[in-house]
């Protein structure tokens, strides 16, 4: 089996996402760039149950020089969201793993006329600001372009209206970390607003925490 390492990494991540209830059924998708050939990407297949999935079931896609993506290996066709994952991977050479979930609380926080997601606890500060992308058809080049623009040169996470969340990282641990803490941020936000005691962290405290994280001094 070719590209076994990244296939195993993607499979482990999708199982973790299911266990943490970030993904249900066949929703959501996860991708990983190959360390030796940065144009090769392992990504979860389309419409296949994650229960019982094996490494060889993970699809392999090559990002071509003309901007297209070519399915080169795997029994099942790659996720329809290949354009979204590869748009970010093409734009950000520092990013090697991408995670797209349909997590409920993150989706709720993307709703409304002026949606906003702010950190409530210090670990959540690492992934803000969290931009919100307007709804466009899943799997389209348009949503791929909007997500890439929202992530930008330094972003780690964005929300997609009526769709879910997209996160990324230098490795799979980082991408999953971003997804988990952003979903926690969304959960605490929804519950706090429901209880009527919503108090996000002050912006100065957020900036101070981000400086600690950047300096690798966060506790």
Band the pLDDT of 215: cuts 50, 70, 90: confident
The beta strands (E) that lie in 84-196 are given as 97-101, 131-133, 157-160, 164-169
Measured CA to CA, the distance from residue 137 to residue 141 in angstroms comes to 9
Give just the sign of the alpha carbon dihedral 21, 165, 141, 60.
negative
Measured CA to CA, the distance from residue 9 to residue 159 in angstroms comes to 24
Residue 81 is among the residues annotated as catalytic for this protein: yes
Band the pLDDT of 213: cuts 50, 70, 90: confident
- Residue 43 three-state SS: strand
| Mean residue pLDDT across the chain | 94
CA dist 45 → 50, 177, 180 (Å): 9, 22, 22
Tell how many helices (H) and how many strands (E) occur in the chain. 6, 8
Band the pLDDT of 218: cuts 50, 70, 90: low
Band the pLDDT of 167: cuts 50, 70, 90: very high
In tens, the pLDDT along 58-89 reads 999 999 999 999 999 999 999 999 999 999 99
pLDDT of the residue at 195: 97
pLDDT of the residue at 217: 58
pLDDT of the residue at 48: 87
- Catalytic residue chosen out of the listed positions 4, 16, 62, 81: 81
Band the pLDDT of 24: cuts 50, 70, 90: confident
């Amino acid at each position: 089996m070719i590209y076994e390492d990244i296939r195993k990494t993607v499979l482990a991540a999708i199982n973790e996402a299911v266990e943490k209830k970030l993904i249900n059924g066949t929703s959501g998708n996860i991708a990983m760039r190959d360390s030796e050939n940065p144009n090769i990407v392992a990504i979860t297949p389309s419409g296949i149950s994650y229960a019982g999935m094996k490494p060889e079931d993970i699809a392999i896609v090559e990002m071509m020089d003309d901007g297209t993506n070519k399915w080169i290996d795997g029994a099942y066709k790659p996720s329809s969201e290949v354009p979204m994952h590869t748009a970010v991977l093409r734009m950000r050479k520092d990013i090697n793993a991408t995670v797209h979930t349909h997590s409920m609380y993150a989706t709720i926080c993307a709703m409304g006329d002026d949606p906003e997601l702010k950190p409530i606890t210090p670990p959540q500060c690492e992934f803000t600001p969290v931009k919100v992308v307007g709804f466009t058809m899943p799997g389209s080049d348009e949503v791929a372009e909007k997500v890439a623009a929202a992530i930008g040169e330094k972003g780690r996470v964005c929300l997609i209206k009526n769709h879910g969340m997209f996160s990324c990282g230098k490795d799979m641990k980082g991408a999953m970390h971003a997804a988990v803490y952003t979903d926690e941020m969304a959960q605490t936000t929804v519950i706090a607003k429901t209880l009527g005691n919503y108090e996000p962290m002050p912006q100065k405290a957020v900036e101070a925490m981000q400086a600690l994280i950047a300096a690798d001094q966060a506790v």
